[in-house]
Chains A and B, each alone.
Chain A
Amino acid sequence: MKALRNYLDKIKPNFEEGGKLAMFRSVFDGFETFLYVPNTTSKSGVHIHDSVDSKRTMTVVIIALIPALLFGMYNTGYQHNLAIGADPGFWMTFIYGFLAVLPKIIVSYVVGLGIEFTIAQFKKEEIQEGFLVSGMLIPMIVPIDTPLWMIALATAFAVVFAKEVFGGTGYNIFNVALVTRAFLFFAYPAAMSGDQVFVRTDSTFGIGGGQVVDAFSGATPLGQVSIATNDMVGSFHMVDTLGNPLTNWDMFLGLIPGSIGETSVLAILLGAVILLVTGIASWKTMVSVFVGGAITALLFNLIGSTVPMTVTPIEHLLLGGFAFGAVFMATDPVTSARTETGKYIYGFLVGAMAIIIRVLNPGYPEGMMLAILLMNTFAPLIDYYVVDSNIKRRLKRAIR
């Protein structure tokens, strides 16, 4: 570690004003502050002095994403093996998934960071760290068969139009990773929905070739729900890719088809624990998303006239991107509500809206993405009224 520090100190003069590599100053600065906490602190005003800056915060979120990511890689391989009826053992399964997911992560980071670095260099600003998390989220919320060029295009679009035009990290109105997904969803619907894209049946880098077994169907549980007809109420069961009925336990563990990082509630909860223990995400937002979703699902159960309405609250919370969105997306400190009361309202409405979209709109089997994006729009309004009512309450007290 000492050697790295010395090396950085040695090459640093090259990047300063007048040095021969001055044009890469912000790139160097970005890497240096990523590796080492800068030893400069603010000299005036009221600030908390500690070693956690936003780069360190982002790193913790990445660590929290690791369980879901690793599980997603394993699940990719697992679903593939189910589809071709092979059983090459744990490590080969994982390696297959790893090789399938890795290019997506690389593409997302190269494109996103490339744009961020270029813009920071161009505007002579520091490189902002917001994309560290977005770049990891993007590959985790797309289906495994999404072509790489689509991810690259969508990432570029989201970074420029959802983030940089608003002023960069911390100023964006919408969650960048979700804008990427929304772009993909509306621009290339065939690659983002249906039962062909969530399980990879081809080989990856020459590994895992084979013939798809007859009983195989790659439909996700929510996809099955959305195409079920009304006369199936009561007799409808969600099934896995081979047609066996799914239990809540299967959905909790997450060995089911779905976007890469979203299937395992268990792995996501591990990440949630990390985020809550370190105090980075707000438990208020997370809990109220789940509460909002459960209550709305319960209300629909009472009506129960179509198959989507009969899906139980537990199933709703376990399936699709609900848990992933609640833990990693809704709690985004930039785009969610910032007032403490506002977090309850914001979270509740995200959960409620996600279930409403799932149940009432057959075109969108999954509503979490649209629900969070919609509530992103309203987060400032919620904050405004929370602050406003607080002021009014206090004014009343003062007059008396």
Chain B
Amino acid sequence: MGLLSNKNKAILVDPLSKNNPVIVQMLGVCSALAVTSKLEPSIVMAISVTAVVAFANVIISLLRNTIPNRIRIIVQLVVVAALVTIVSEVLKAFAYDVNKQLSVFVGLIITNCILMGRLEAFALGNGPWESFLDGVGNGLGYGLILIIIGFFRELLGSGTLLGIQVIPQIFYDLGYVNNGLMILPPMALIVVAVIIWVHRSRNKELQED
């Protein structure tokens, strides 16, 4: 018996690959395209969403037996909005530059489909511990994809990683040029498509006919 039971382990690990919110369920793609032109905002966004979805899951799960069914969406929105505001204020206080790069997308975490999806589909029917694991799993699954996209876009588009020059100067002297298309959102969509392509060809059971 490890730290987690098998069931809880599945709750935590499944969203990382087999049931990934971005590349399998196709949720949260908009922000995955918008904030990933550099690696740093991708990482910050990944952490923010993980924190919000994990704690929103816990709170809703604790309240689940007292929320009247007809107004549950409003209650969920209030909880998420409160958490997003906290995250936003924390970012403004401690990571102002990144917060400016993320601009509206921090506030728009509230409209991220992953959040409402997990609250509706999981937190309303499960206990707080499972809900917490589910939130962390889905947040990390989302974050993982964001970081992969951000890594390739920053590496190929700017030649840097986390703002540090990675591609050596000699390449530029020999005529290498950064790929400007990588910075633009269309290429982010193609990168997502390539990740999905690789993922599906490795997991045959996910392929649709």
Contact = CB atoms under 8 A, between A and B. Distances in A.
Leading 4 A-B pairs by shortest Cβ distance: A187-B181, A187-B179, A186-B181, A187-B180
A147 B175 contact: yes
A8 interface: no
B180 A186 contact: yes
B177 A190 contact: yes
Contacts of A191: 177
A188 B175 contact: no
A189 interface: yes
Given A147-B175, A149-B175, A188 B180 contact: yes
B162 interface: no
B190 A187 contact: no
Contacts of A166: none
A150 B181 contact: no
Interface of A: 147, 149-150, 161, 183, 186-191
- Contact residues on B (Cβ < 8 Å of other chain), bracket: under 10
Interface string B169-181: 0000001110111
Given A149-B176, A189-B180, 9 more contacts: A147-B175, A147-B177, A149-B175, A150-B177, A183-B181, A186-B180, A186-B181, A187-B180, A188-B177
Contacts of A183: 181
A150 B175 CA distance: 10
Nearest to B194: A161
A141 to B, nearest CB: 17
A187 B182 contact: yes
A149 B176 CA distance: 9
Contacts of A187: 179-182
Contacts of B181: 183, 186-187
B155 to A, nearest CB: 14
Contact of A161 (B175, B182, B190): B190
A71 to B, nearest CB: 28
B184 A186 contact: yes
Contacts of A149: 175-176
B189 to A, nearest CB: 11
A188 B178 CA distance: 8
Contacts of A188: 177, 179-180
A385 B180 CA distance: 37
A6 B68 CA distance: 84
20 contacts: A147-B175, A147-B177, A149-B175, A149-B176, A150-B177, A161-B190, A183-B181, A186-B180, A186-B181, A186-B184, A187-B179, A187-B180, A187-B181, A187-B182, A188-B177, A188-B179, A188-B180, A189-B180, A190-B177, A191-B177
Interface in B126-179: 175-177, 179
Nearest to A191: B177
Contacts of A189: 180
Contacts of B176: 149
A191 to B, nearest CB: 7
Contacts of A186: 180-181, 184
B93 to A, nearest CB: 37
A144 to B, nearest CB: 15
Contacts of B184: 186
Contacts of B180: 186-189
Most buried by B among A150, A161, A186, A190: A186
A177 to B, nearest CB: 17
B194 to A, nearest CB: 9
A166 to B, nearest CB: 12
A150 B180 CA distance: 12
A275 B182 CA distance: 38
Nearest to B180: A187
Contacts of A190: 177
Nearest to B186: A186
A147 B179 CA distance: 13
B195 to A, nearest CB: 14
A183 B156 CA distance: 14
Nearest to B190: A161
A191 B175 CA distance: 11
Contacts of A150: 177
B158 to A, nearest CB: 13
B25 to A, nearest CB: 22
A150 B176 CA distance: 9
Nearest to A149: B175
A190 B172 CA distance: 14
Contacts of B175: 147, 149
A161 B182 CA distance: 15
B98 to A, nearest CB: 26
Nearest to A189: B180
A191 B179 CA distance: 11
Interface in B176-209: 176-177, 179-182, 184, 190
A149 B190 CA distance: 21
A190 B176 CA distance: 12
Contacts of A147: 175, 177
Contacts of A161: 190
B33 to A, nearest CB: 16
A191 B181 CA distance: 13
Nearest to A188: B177
A123 to B, nearest CB: 13
Interface in B82-133: none
A147 B172 CA distance: 13
A251 to B, nearest CB: 31
A273 to B, nearest CB: 37
